[in-house]
Chains A and B, each alone.
Chain A
Amino acid sequence: MSSAESWTIARRQEEAPGETVPDATGDDLAALYDAYAGTLYRYALTIVGSVEAAEDVLQEVFVGLLRRRGRARIEHLREYLLRATRNQAYMHLRKCRSRSRDVTLETWVEVTADFGQPELAADISAALARLPADQREVIALRLTGELTFREAAEVLGIPAATAASRYRLALSKLRTYLTESNDDA
C-alpha cells in the first residue's frame, strides 16, 4: 500500500469516531503531492483561470491538509482534496473580484509546438475557456481527474444526474465553439 493510500483521513469525523491517523512524515506528504498535485492543479486552473493563482490554491490545499495531521481520518482522499481545492479556488476568486472579466482564462491544456497537433490543442483550450465555469468544472473532473459522474457530483455537491447532463451539455457546446473557430479560420 502506498503512503498516499495509507494516509487516509476520515472525511467526516462522525463516520469514524475516535479514529485518527499518525502524523504524516515528509515522505508521506511527498507521495501525496506526487499522486494528486497534477489533478488538483488542473482543477484549480479550471476555476481560477490563472497559472499563478492555481499554484497558490494548490499550496493552500496542502497546507490545509497539514493542519489536519493526526486529527481525524479522511476517507475518499481524492474527492476530499478536490473539494478542498474547489473551496480554496472560489475563496481566491472572491478575494480577487476586481479582476477584469476580459482577461483570457488559462486552461489546463499546454499548447506547445512539441505536441503533434498544436492547432487542436489551441482550439480546444480556447473552447474550454469559453465554457461556463460549472460546465468547465465537470469536464475537468471527468477528463483530467478521471472521476465518475457520481464522484464528480460529490465534489460539486450536486446530484449525479445533474453532473451527467451538465457534462453532455458542455461537450455539445465545445463542439459548437470548435466548429465556430474552424469556420472563422
Chain B
Amino acid sequence: MPEYQTLSDDQLEGAIRSLPRREPRAALRARVLTRASRPRRSSLLLRPGFAFALLAALLLADLAVMKRQDALLRPTPLAAAPTIAPADSDPELAAVLADTYGAANRWQLALSGPPPSGDSYLQLRRELSLRGKG
C-alpha cells in the first residue's frame, strides 16, 4: 500500500501524471466530424427570397390600409338642391334659395375634391357677398 504521507509535491504530481486517463469515445469524434461536414442551415429570416417577400407583403398591406382610410374619410356630396316650394309664389326667394344651395354644393364639391385654389375660394366668397350670403 503506498505511503501517501511521505509523498512530496513533485512525487504526488508525478503519481497523478502517471495515471491512465479517460479519453472520449471514438463515436464522439465521428459525431462531431459528421456534424462539421453538414452544411449549415440558414435561418428562414436570413434567406434572401424571404426578405423580399416580407417587404412586398408589408407594402401591400400598407396600401390596402391607406385605401380603406381614404374611402372612410371621403365626405359624401350633399344631395341635389331640393325643390323650392315657394318658387311659384315668390320667384325672387326661389332664385336666392337655389343660388344658396348651389353655392353650398360647390363648397362641398370643392372640399371633397382636391384642395381649392385661392382663386376658386375668392370667387365663391365674391359670389356669396354679391348675393348677401357671405
Contact = CB atoms under 8 A, between A and B. Distances in A.
Contact of B21 (A62, A106, A110, A179): A110
Interface string B13-51: 101110111111100110111011100000000000000
A36 B45 CA distance: 35
A160 interface: no
B28 A55 contact: yes
Contacts of A179: 4-5
Contacts of B21: 38, 42, 108-110, 144
Where chain B touches its partner, the secondary structure class is helix
A140 to B, nearest CB: 10
B56 to A, nearest CB: 31
Interface residues of A toward B: which range? 35 or more
Q: What is the interface of chain A mostly: helix, strand, loop, or mixed?
A: helix
A119 B22 CA distance: 17
A142 B16 CA distance: 11
Nearest to A59: B32
Given A63-B35, A171-B13, A33 B20 contact: no
Given A33-B33, A124-B15, A175 B5 contact: yes
Contact of B16 (A66, A111, A139): A139
Nearest to A127: B4
A58 B28 CA distance: 9
Contacts of B12: 171, 174-175
A27 B47 CA distance: 29
Interface string A12-44: 000000000000101001100110011001100
Interface in A80-125: 106, 108-112, 114-115, 117, 119-121, 123-125
Interface of B: 1-5, 7, 9, 12-13, 15-17, 19-25, 28-29, 31-33, 35-37
